[in-house]
Structure 1
Amino acid sequence: MHPEPSSRPRRPHAASRRTVLGAALGAVAGVTASAQPAAAAGWQLRWSPSARTDGLRAFETVEDDRAGSHPAGSPHIRAEGDNWRFTMHTVDRDTSPDRQRQEVTGCRDGSSYLRRLPGETWRLRYSLYIPAALKATTFFTHIMQMKQPGTGTSPIVVQSLRRVNGAQTIELKLFGSDTLVGRTGLEPLHDRWIDVDFRIGIGNGSAGSVRWIVKSGGTTVVDGSRTGVDTFLADRVRPKWGIYRSLGDSSGSLQNCHLLLTGLRACQLV
């Protein structure tokens, strides 16, 4: 057994509110509303669900044992206090039997969901608890993806636990071009909460950008970025969180494991 966090994880601070002078106040000051300077661009909070109150309703879809391979282990995805928990057993199989998948998709807000489109810039912040049993592998182990909705589509961005020259790492890549954005050692981040700040400018061809910041105990352990990259396929872009891994690992790293996720925030640059 591996130690669980002994206290509630820190949640990222919500975006600060701004006070905007109205037309009436402008008139009192002797200027019209149209004469007021335009507000500076900033991050606007669009989504801030709570595992405790929203549960799995926070997401657009829930992909829990899609193949029905392990009913005795269900639910593999559930809210647990202030966290969302993703549990993976070695016997679990996806609809493609060479891999495993327990993931949630999208950002639901009541009866609708967030749409991320070309020309927009978005920021996702969240905290992860990665137990030592969830190891990096020689084939893919993704714990976050950005994708076009629909089955059979390739990822745009993947955050992965990958073996590099035998060492366990956590990394972010542009999937289509296999472009590395950032990478750092995973083992120092096991069994503790880490904070992720991911930003994506959505654009075709060379019009996109990404930035990926990971902090542990308030210390930045990786801060990588790429510009002039392709971050759009079709329709829209949505995130996925959870455990999605290949059974082709050759390092002996596949174990029963879980992942905890909390403090989810989505902001749009406006």
Structure 2
Amino acid sequence: MSTSRRAVLGAALGGAAGAAVGLSATTPAYAASWQQKWAPTATGDGLGAFETVEDDRADSHPAGHPHIYATGDNWRFTMHTVDRDTSTDRQRQEVTGLRTGSGYLKWTQGQTWRITYSMYIPGSLKATTTFTHIMQMKQPGNGTSPIVVQSLRRVNGVQTIELNLPIAGVLVGRTDLEPLHDTWTDVDFQIKVGDGTAGSVRWILKSGSTTVIDRTRTGVDTFLADRVRPKWGIYRSLGDTSGSLQDTYLLLTDLRGYQLG
């Protein structure tokens, strides 16, 4: 990753604590600050950076293993058109959670967390007419509904990237995907974990020094039960009608996790 991209994210994290979702702009800077809790590297931690790894859990494509692995400074998620999840109408290559040397981090009700990272979306990873998620927030456990999804979706034939809060029924924001293909995009995501109307989120995408989108939603539901756990990778439906499903991949780097304390 370039030094300039790290500088952009560093500058964002160095701003006033009042920029955090759920805080008033008049909140004194000393009242709260971001505390770094997670800073893995692909070269040093590999897949040990995550709580779990869901690499072809149905064993549908042994010849393609591994689908998820560290390569240089990046984590790579590879998806082949022949890959199938345990539900055979979809595909899934994902990792979950934030593992540290003492275990894994738990995001619980009332806490505010921030994740920053960079992602490389190749032109072969296209938006689809059905779901293609590249980041989710969920309650751990089988069959639980997603709380937050960052998705690649075709809207009236246009490829977009969007952030949705499914249990709240809220579209946080949406922007064109094609300018972000074949380049690194910085992601800054913040969430206050709250039930009913006690939650909030902020979603920022930057391309170089340009802010592509910056959206905040407050008074929303961001909690089901137990805890919230992030997931990254490619999770997509095979029901696409646009002919966009191809062999593809996703790269992530410079993953960082912060808690507002």
Same fold (TM > 0.5):
yes
Contact 1:9–1:193 (Cα < 8 Å) also in 2: no
Give distance in 1, aligned partners of 2:138 and 2:124.
Answer: 27
Q: Deviations 1:212-255 (Å, cap 9, x if unpaired)? A: 00001110011111100000001101100000000000000000
Give distance in 1, aligned partners of 2:85 and 2:222.
Answer: 26
Change beyond 3 A, Cα 1:9–1:243: farther
Q: Does 1:244 align with 2:235?
A: yes
Contact 1:10–1:263 (Cα < 8 Å) also in 2: no
Aligned to 1:19: none
Aligned to 2:52: 61
Map residues 1-270 of structure 1 onto 2, 5 A cutoff. Answer: 10-11=5-6, 12-13=9-10, 39-270=30-261
* Partner SS state of residue 185, structure 2: strand
Contact 2:78–2:250 (Cα < 8 Å) also in 1: yes
Larger C-alpha radius of gyration, 1 or 2?
1
Q: Deviations 1:186-207 (Å, cap 9, x if unpaired)? A: 0000000000000000100000
1:135 is matched by which residue type in structure 2? Answer: K
Give distance in 1, aligned partners of 2:140 and 2:242.
Answer: 32
Unaligned runs of 5+ in 1: 17-37
Give distance in 2, aligned partners of 1:152 and 1:9.
Answer: 41
Instruction: Give the stretch that moved more between structures: 110-119 or 52-61.
Output: 110-119
Aligned to 1:20: none
Q: Deviations 1:66-114 (Å, cap 9, x if unpaired)? A: 0000000000000000000000000000000000000000000024100
Relative to the length of structure 2, the TM-score reads 0.90
1:215 is matched by which residue type in structure 2? Answer: K
Deviation at 1:13, TM superposition (A): 2.9
Give distance in 2, aligned partners of 1:262 and 1:183.
Answer: 23
* Partner SS state of residue 245, structure 2: coil
Give distance in 2, aligned partners of 1:164 and 1:122.
Answer: 30
* Partner SS state of residue 13, structure 1: helix
Give distance in 2, aligned partners of 1:117 and 1:258.
Answer: 31
Q: Deviations 1:129-175 (Å, cap 9, x if unpaired)? A: 00000000000000000100011101000000000000000000001
Give distance in 1, aligned partners of 2:241 and 2:3.
Answer: 36
Identity %: 74
Aligned to 1:26: none
Let me know the Cα RMSD of the aligned residues.
1.8
Structure 1 stretches (4+) deviating beyond 3 angstroms? 7-12
Aligned to 2:17: none
Q: Deviations 1:42-88 (Å, cap 9, x if unpaired)? A: 10101010001000000000000000000000000000000000000
Change beyond 3 A, Cα 1:8–1:130: farther
* Partner SS state of residue 10, structure 2: coil
Unaligned runs of 5+ in 2: 15-28
Deviation at 1:8, TM superposition (A): 8.3
Give distance in 1, aligned partners of 2:203 and 2:253.
Answer: 17
Contact 1:8–1:82 (Cα < 8 Å) also in 2: no
* Partner SS state of residue 35, structure 2: strand
